[in-house]
Amino acid sequence: MKILSGIQPSGQLHIGNYFGMMQTMIGHMESAELYVFIVDLHALTSVHERDRLAAGTIEAAADFLALGLDPDKCIFWVQSDVPEVCELTWVLSTLTPMGLLERCHSYKDKVAKGIAASHGLFSYPVLMAADILLYQADQVPVGKDQKQHLEVARDLAIKFNSHYGETFVVPEPAISATTAIVPGLDGQKMSKSYGNTIPIFLAGKELKKRVMAIATDATPVEAPKNPDTCTLYQLLSLFAAPPRLVEIRRLYVEGGAAYGYLKLELLDLLHQRFAVAQKKREEFLADPAMVRAILQRGAEKAREKASRTLDLVRDRVGLRY
């Protein structure tokens, strides 16, 4: 089973990314042929400051390594180090109906949030399809927001296969029911572009500020509350041990849940979960040459796989004469 997923190096890693994708990927390390990569070509659709993109790439790599991704147990690389993906993007784009891309919500959402409506942003899902099909991935763990992009990848694989003959594996999305959409401080989907995130690796005071800013209602402590509509409860349920979560739920339902106190409990749980990784991250960031070397080794392995698929594609479409 080949499992693949990527993350954009476009901002600080947050707990939505962690639960939506990274934790799942790290969990597959022992059992699958795992492909993990940093999609800098995708980030180029929204990041146009040279240093921010380059530093973001090293940081995203350090994040993954610090959280426990072992580069000897997977293929871990930076997207642009395997240029084959651009050629496959072009081939796929010649089979991509405009209507398929026009229907993608992500493009419209990003433009509504002020990202320039470039051709790259519009064709973003074709590059993502090429990412997935190039490595013949069976499964792609992502958050729910990426489901439509996965459908584009599936459509293109099916279309190519039926026109040119069996070439690509048709990938399946893997979306966990419990962490499909992690809510942000305001209760909307947690996202870098909404400014409502809890970054995993934030320094003490800053982290406290974010946690204390989680939106809660004005119900008095003693009054019963609905845990299932409460962002704070949803976030606690990702971190608290099951017996403690049962107690917290009882406090909500029967009365007695004090939001301020529960926020401090969440803060403590965040520290417990990420303190070790935070230290490791600092060590990786202090040695960027080592991080680059890890990524280069990964790129060599990835490139070998990619060129095998691309050779087949060139042959299928007639780019061999």
* Residue 28 sits in the site that holds ligand ADP (CB under 6 A): no
**Which residues have a catalytic role annotated?**
110, 189, 192
* Residue 44 sits in the site that holds ligand TRP (CB under 6 A): no
* Residue 3 sits in the site that holds ligand ADP (CB under 6 A): no
Q: Which does 182 bind (CB under 5 to 8 A by kind): ligand TRP, ligand ADP, none?
A: ligand ADP
Tell me the C-alpha to C-alpha distance, in Å, between residue 108 and each of 104, 116, 156, 205, 280: 7, 11, 21, 35, 38
Span near ligand TRP by CB under 6 A; candidates 140-148, 176-184, 235-243, 267-275? 140-148
Hey, which residues between 149 and 188 contact ligand TRP (CB under 6 A)? Answer: 149
Torsion of CA 265, 209, 201, 173, to 10 degrees: 80
* Residue 143 sits in the site that holds ligand ADP (CB under 6 A): yes
Q: Residue 126 corresponds to which tokens in the numbers above?
A: 């074709």
* Residue 132 sits in the site that holds ligand TRP (CB under 6 A): yes
* Residue 179 sits in the site that holds ligand ADP (CB under 6 A): yes
What is the three-class DSSP state of 173? strand
Number of C-beta neighbours around residue 51 at 10 A: 7
CB of 176 to ligand ADP, least distance (A): 9
| Alpha-carbon span 235 to 242, nearest angstrom | 13
> Do the Cβ atoms of 26 and 69 come closer than 8 Å?
yes
Question: Which of 3, 17, 227, 263 is the binder for ligand ADP (CB under 6 A)?
Answer: 17
> Do the Cβ atoms of 236 and 182 come closer than 8 Å?
no
| Alpha-carbon span 305 to 33, nearest angstrom | 12
Please give the residue ranges that form the binding site for ligand ADP (CB under 6 A).
7-8, 16-17, 19-21, 142-143, 145-146, 179, 181-182, 189-193
Please give the residue ranges that form the binding site for ligand TRP (CB under 6 A).
4-6, 8, 39, 42, 128, 131-132, 140, 142, 146, 149
